[in-house]
Amino acid sequence: MNKSYIKGIHIAIEIAALVISLASVAVAVVYALTSDGPVPMNYDFKGNVTSYGSAWTALIMPVVALAMVITDGVILHMVPPTSWSTGFRVKAAKANAVYAEIGLMLALLSLEFALFALSFTIFLTLSKADLFGSAAIVLAVIMTVTIIITLIRASRKNKY
């Protein structure tokens, strides 16, 4: 199968996710280089500090986001889509349309997580810990909606 299921929108979203992930890493590095001593690292849901640590631990979320963006890109561009788990049998005549939707889901999830990592890093640098819990809930809802909508669209494209 050729890669005609990869559309321009996939590539644009992947590039945006990569740029945002790299920006998140850059913000975390600047934060780590400019912080003195232990910094608040863990918070409860209300934003209260529960532990302190090295400012370099601020790199964890951005690096995980960057790894996710790269991994999703590898899956989209290098792993045959017939290996992807769609939850249903893809009809050969509908494969391009179905795999385009699944690829869109991968790209969107990468972008959403990259945006979360950047917001997490910015909240950390601005000492806005009370926003972490809300941001995590928003991310979970958005990612769940993305998965549901794209799987429904892919399933419909497989039928009609």
- 32-66 per-position pLDDT tens digit: 999 888 888 777 777 788 888 888 988 999 999 99
Do 81 and 102 form a contact (C-beta atoms < 8 A)?
yes
Domain extents for the chain? 8-159
Q: Which residue has the tokens 């909508």?
A: 149
Q: At what angle do helices 132-159 and 95-125 cross, to 10 degrees?
A: 170
Banded pLDDT at 1 (limits 50, 70, 90): low
User: What is the pTM for the complete model shown?
Assistant: 0.88
- Average of pLDDT values for 141-148? 96
- 129-138 per-position pLDDT tens digit: 677 778 889 9
Q: Is the pLDDT of residue 26 over 60?
A: yes
